[in-house]
Structure 1
Amino acid sequence: MTLISRVLGLVRDVVVANFLGAGAAADVFFFANKIPNFLRRLFAEGAFAQAFVPVLTEVKSLDDEATMQDFVAKVSGTLGAIVFITAIFGVIFSPVLAALFGGGWFIDYLNDGEKAENFVLASSMLKITFPYIFFISLAGLVGAVLNTLNKFAVAAFTPVLLNISIIICALFLGPLLDEPAYALAWGVFFGGIAQLGFQLPFLYRAGLLQRPKWGWRDPNVTKVRTLMIPALFGVSVSQINLLLDTLIATFLDLTGSISWLYYSDRLLEFPLGLFGIAIATVILPALSRNHVAKDPRAFTANLDWAFKIICLLGIPAAVALVLIAEPLLMVIFQRGEFSLNDARMASYSLMAYGSGLLSFMLIKILAPAFYSRQDTKTPVKYGIITMVCNMLFNLILAIPFGYVGLALATALSGTLNAILLYQRLHKTGIYKMSRDTLVFNVRVFVSSALMGLSIFLLNETFVWDSALLLERIYMLVALVALGLSVFATSLLLVGIRPRHLKIFKSA
């Protein structure tokens, strides 16, 4: 389901690239979508889920259906009220938010600069995209409940509806508007409604669709919000870093910087979402059950399994993203308003992001190791350290390298975060990578290096700039096929077998 969602997400981005390219209007839409998307990561997929799932697992272990129904009703009522007020606030104060996160555009607006119109457009577009936070937060709540019940497919498929909504609005509503970018904003709005509506029948079948209640002082709700407040920073550091990147990018002279960062981030999100987030979604309920059952051996086995899977998929994915960044962008996005220069410029930031892919994926499994134990303070402490370091990296690298420096700073801060999380797990005795897992990961690294060498040598024989689209597709398929073949063969030669991955314990 996650694969289907990510593939359709790429189709959506192809439509957007063809529709807007990497110009000023594209920069504004990505800006207006990033702020509510950031809040979605906090309320829906990030801090809320990390705090809610362990407590829900604890309540579920009591085998008291009435208590669980009451808990879900109070959480949905409390969360719903908070995000509703947040959405109203965002709509009313959209100019303030546009000024806060788009400082460069706001300064131009005050001084009648060339990017003044960007600020005006961003302010009005935020009024359309901001209500998305209400619908998607409740959809995230429903998805978290279903995941705890081991019904993962529904929540994993739900983002498909957002992608379809944006595509339909771009193709059919866009030509009717004076500013086509507004069509994409409306696609986000309707996509939020569709995602929530799609999941409610499944919640009803599970017997947990209850009338929302205000439950701020309920003991279990109190536990969730107590865990969630520090997790707002800890789990969403990468999103905060991306917002900081966007803010700094509004000050850069190059029009298209935000768009180039967006398109490269979208390609990074494909393996990150398909592998990292999908595995994290599965691992959190399992680790929570292990902790409640006081089964440290199963807890360690689960983390070892996740570590192996992340490295098996993340290391070769990172190598491939860095080596074929430009060909990927050319084949996927270069058409319509998206030019060859846009593909080349975005490839530089994709290579920088790609260097941190493994770290981003590891964070997705290391942070749940703390959250499953209802420890949100440790990740938030390291999250704050990482965020401060990212700001310093931005200031140091943005001056000589521009938007590429921003992407590189994000990768460096992500790597620092992963290292700090693992060191803490190791030092406190919660988790230590087994020798078997270490040997496994070294073998994966060697296989990935051989794969990368083969891709590099073949790529050097082809001239991408002058090739036709069909020729580029053939060559990209050849690169991917060669890489997969060499990687799979190398894994067998270094001794990795399927049985090495069959150690995951779900209970």
Structure 2
Amino acid sequence: MSKIAKAAIGLMIATLIAKTLGFSRELALASAYGASSTSDAFLVAMNIPAVIFTAIGTSLGTAFIPLFCEVKSNRGEEASVKYTNNILNVVVIICIILALLGAVFAPQLVKLFALGFKGETMEQAVYFTRIMLLGIPFLGISYIMMAYLQVKENFIIPGLMPIPYNICIIIAILLSVKISPYILPFGALIGLLGQFIFQLPFAMKRGYKYKPYINLKDEYLKKMIWLIGPVLIGVAVNQINTIVDRTIASTLVEGSISALNYANKLNQFVMGMFIVSISSVVYPILSKLSTENNKTEFNKSIITSINTVILIVIPISVGAIILSTPIVKILFQRGEFDARATYMTSVALVFYSIGMIGFGLRDILGKVFYSLQDTKTPMINGVIAMGLNITLNILFVKFTNMQLAGLAFATSISALVTIVLLFINLRMKIGPFGGKSIVIVFVKSILSALLMAIITIFIYKNLSSLLGLGTLKEILTLVISIVVGAFVYGISVVVLKVSEVNFILTNLKKKI
């Protein structure tokens, strides 16, 4: 347990560093270009290679690790390295083909991702896209190195992987303001290469040696292709949702894509910091317990991970809703990011935050099904969520005045519906697993968060009146309000005797 806890804490710290730098990248872009046509074009172009390969990369990582272990167990360390090289070289070839095809059909790709782009915005987006697509092979091999390091029980370096990428983009943004916006994509391209170079020495230290080996008839390559199919579709639907959201946003007022992106990044910061760290550590535990058919401990692990996510995400979600405007203003409003951009982003943040618990639990529940070697159920539910998201996007934008808020709200509703379906499917698959405990923790967390919200709003309004305007004063007001709110929430869940909190406090007392 100690080893698992250390891995989780280490990964959280690494993720915090990487996410903070990633958020600094967003701040730099917001300050330099605000919610403008250039920022819209750059964000769309940066999203295209990510969408093309993130689904594949995530699926590769999911299938790579168990097969690597199987090869190592049956054939030894040397064979496992040979297997790694085979997968890596095949991925590189596929990525080169995808990059070349993407460069040729860049205008069509941009139209797919941003239907409303025209004129100079369209030209910029096509140029940015062609440059960034050259980095797809680097993105592919980075995912393989990340999976290799994880199977070797090194979680820190994969967690820090985004650092060189974000540093290169920040430098490019700063230079682009003085030179030309057209150097922006080169920062992203160099950053993608930097991700691979950053991981390579650590992989080699763990026993990796590159060899130009390819065997398309290898049984493990065929098995991997078979395994990643449902996972790929399940992950891809999330990327399709992003495409649809940005495509519709491109038809709205200028800056809609940027505002949607900035709000989404705030949510992703929370997801990456806490949820991914928890699921990354819990996944191997669940897989082991599932293999051993240890139903009692398996169910306990499900309840603990779900309740932990609920306790973390609910207060953050409520806090983001009630303090959306001051949070966005303090983080983003400078340079070209004006009051209009703050308003648009804060509105999107509110409606994204409604579904934050859905985003978090969807990741955990997906890992539960994968540990049961069931990749079809998350895929089917993902497809249902995608259909619902697209339908609601059209309804909210076309038949209501919600516009940008409607896109974020549709995403939240589809995520919430998905977790309800996943809970139902999980109960049908494994029987009762402690749903009553989850409901009790959820209700207690909601009540605590509502009390937190009332006191936080009271503190914020009174401090605002007392301290007045000014950047430092506004930061102080926000920080004090958040700290008081967090303290109230913590005391409340302790008073309500949430078992997970008592467990954490007991362990802390032992350590002290």
Alignment partner, residue 246 of structure 2: 246
Alignment partner, residue 373 of structure 1: 372
Displacement after TM superposition at 1:498 (Å): 4.7
Mapping 1:292-303, distance limit 5 Å = 292-303=291-302
TM-aligned CA distance change 1:58 to 1:286, over 3 Å:
farther
Alignment partner, residue 31 of structure 1: 44
Opposite residue 75 of structure 1, the aligned amino acid is I
Counterpart check, 1:76 vs 2:75: no
Q: Is the 8 A contact 2:344 2:404 kept in 1?
A: no
Alignment partner, residue 145 of structure 2: 142
Alignment partner, residue 206 of structure 1: 206
Q: Equivalent pairs: percent with the same residue?
A: 30
Residues 244-268 of structure 1: CA deviation (Å, up to 9, x unaligned) = 011111222x101101101101111
Alignment partner, residue 412 of structure 1: 413
Q: Is the 8 A contact 1:75 1:213 kept in 2?
A: no
Structure 2 Cα separation of the partners of residues 61 and 503 of structure 1: 39
Displacement after TM superposition at 1:275 (Å): 1.1
Out of 469, 476, 499, the residue aligned to residue 467 of structure 1 is 469
Q: Is the 8 A contact 1:331 1:473 kept in 2?
A: yes
Secondary structure of 1:432's counterpart equals coil
Residues 263-314 of structure 1: CA deviation (Å, up to 9, x unaligned) = 1011111101111222222222333333344443443333223212211211
TM-aligned CA distance change 1:431 to 1:328, over 3 Å:
farther
CA RMSD, Structure 1 to Structure 2 (Å): 2.4
Opposite residue 492 of structure 1, the aligned amino acid is V
Alignment partner, residue 175 of structure 2: 172
TM-score, length basis structure 2: 0.90
Displacement after TM superposition at 1:193 (Å): 0.7
Structure 1 window deviating more from structure 2 (128-137 vs 455-464): it is 455-464
Out of 95, 104, 107, the residue aligned to residue 95 of structure 1 is 107
Aligned length: 490
TM-aligned CA distance change 1:211 to 1:301, over 3 Å:
farther
Mapping 1:47-58, distance limit 5 Å = 47-58=59-70
Greater helix percent: which structure? 2
Q: Is the 8 A contact 1:360 1:414 kept in 2?
A: yes
Structure 2 Cα separation of the partners of residues 212 and 358 of structure 1: 45
Alignment partner, residue 351 of structure 1: 350
Opposite residue 218 of structure 1, the aligned amino acid is D
Alignment partner, residue 190 of structure 1: 190
Displacement after TM superposition at 1:95 (Å): 1.3
Residues 32-55 of structure 1: CA deviation (Å, up to 9, x unaligned) = 1111122242122x3222233333
TM-aligned CA distance change 1:303 to 1:350, over 3 Å:
same
TM-aligned CA distance change 1:436 to 1:403, over 3 Å:
closer
Q: Is the 8 A contact 1:308 1:501 kept in 2?
A: no
Structure 1 Cα separation of the partners of residues 89 and 492 of structure 2: 53
Displacement after TM superposition at 1:501 (Å): 5.3
TM-aligned CA distance change 1:214 to 1:503, over 3 Å:
farther
Structure 2 Cα separation of the partners of residues 342 and 250 of structure 1: 15
Displacement after TM superposition at 1:5 (Å): 0.9
Counterpart check, 1:160 vs 2:170: no
Structure 2 Cα separation of the partners of residues 289 and 30 of structure 1: 40
Opposite residue 80 of structure 1, the aligned amino acid is V
TM-score, length basis structure 1: 0.91
Displacement after TM superposition at 1:138 (Å): 1.3
Alignment partner, residue 427 of structure 1: 428
Alignment partner, residue 222 of structure 1: 222
Structure 2 Cα separation of the partners of residues 431 and 242 of structure 1: 34
Q: Is the 8 A contact 2:452 2:485 kept in 1?
A: yes
Structure 2 Cα separation of the partners of residues 425 and 89 of structure 1: 40
Residues 391-440 of structure 1: CA deviation (Å, up to 9, x unaligned) = 11111111221121111111111112222222111111177235444433
Structure 1 Cα separation of the partners of residues 201 and 258 of structure 2: 37
Structure 2 Cα separation of the partners of residues 448 and 459 of structure 1: 16
Q: Is the 8 A contact 2:317 2:353 kept in 1?
A: yes
Opposite residue 249 of structure 1, the aligned amino acid is A
TM-aligned CA distance change 1:294 to 1:211, over 3 Å:
farther
Alignment partner, residue 271 of structure 2: 272
Structure 1 window deviating more from structure 2 (274-283 vs 59-68): it is 59-68
Alignment partner, residue 108 of structure 1: none
Displacement after TM superposition at 1:240 (Å): 1.7
Alignment partner, residue 232 of structure 1: 232
Q: Is the 8 A contact 2:15 2:160 kept in 1?
A: yes
Structure 1 Cα separation of the partners of residues 456 and 269 of structure 2: 20
Counterpart check, 1:128 vs 2:131: yes
Alignment partner, residue 488 of structure 1: 490
Displacement after TM superposition at 1:102 (Å): 2.1
Structure 1 window deviating more from structure 2 (304-313 vs 25-34): it is 304-313
Out of 14, 22, 25, the residue aligned to residue 35 of structure 2 is 22
Residues 187-226 of structure 1: CA deviation (Å, up to 9, x unaligned) = 2111111110010111111113332533433222222221
Displacement after TM superposition at 1:124 (Å): 0.8
Secondary structure of 1:235's counterpart equals helix
Secondary structure of 2:116's counterpart equals helix
Structure 2 Cα separation of the partners of residues 210 and 185 of structure 1: 29
Q: Is the 8 A contact 1:234 1:384 kept in 2?
A: yes
Task: Provide structure 1 residue ranges, at least 5 long, that are not aligned to the other structure.
Answer: 106-114
TM-aligned CA distance change 1:289 to 1:141, over 3 Å:
farther
Structure 2 Cα separation of the partners of residues 72 and 431 of structure 1: 40
TM-aligned CA distance change 1:303 to 1:64, over 3 Å:
farther
Alignment partner, residue 383 of structure 1: 382
TM-aligned CA distance change 1:328 to 1:370, over 3 Å:
same
Structure 1 window deviating more from structure 2 (15-24 vs 364-373): it is 364-373
Structure 2 Cα separation of the partners of residues 503 and 131 of structure 1: 52
Structure 1 window deviating more from structure 2 (364-373 vs 427-436): it is 427-436
Structure 2 Cα separation of the partners of residues 406 and 395 of structure 1: 9
Residues 39-91 of structure 1: CA deviation (Å, up to 9, x unaligned) = 242122x3222233333344455482133222212211222221221122212
Alignment partner, residue 305 of structure 1: 304
Opposite residue 168 of structure 1, the aligned amino acid is I
Task: Provide structure 2 residue ranges, at least 5 long, that are not aligned to the other structure.
Answer: 1-13, 508-512
TM-aligned CA distance change 1:209 to 1:398, over 3 Å:
farther
TM-aligned CA distance change 1:376 to 1:319, over 3 Å:
same
Residues 353-394 of structure 1: CA deviation (Å, up to 9, x unaligned) = 111111101111111122233322221111111111111111
TM-aligned CA distance change 1:63 to 1:303, over 3 Å:
farther
Secondary structure of 2:372's counterpart equals coil
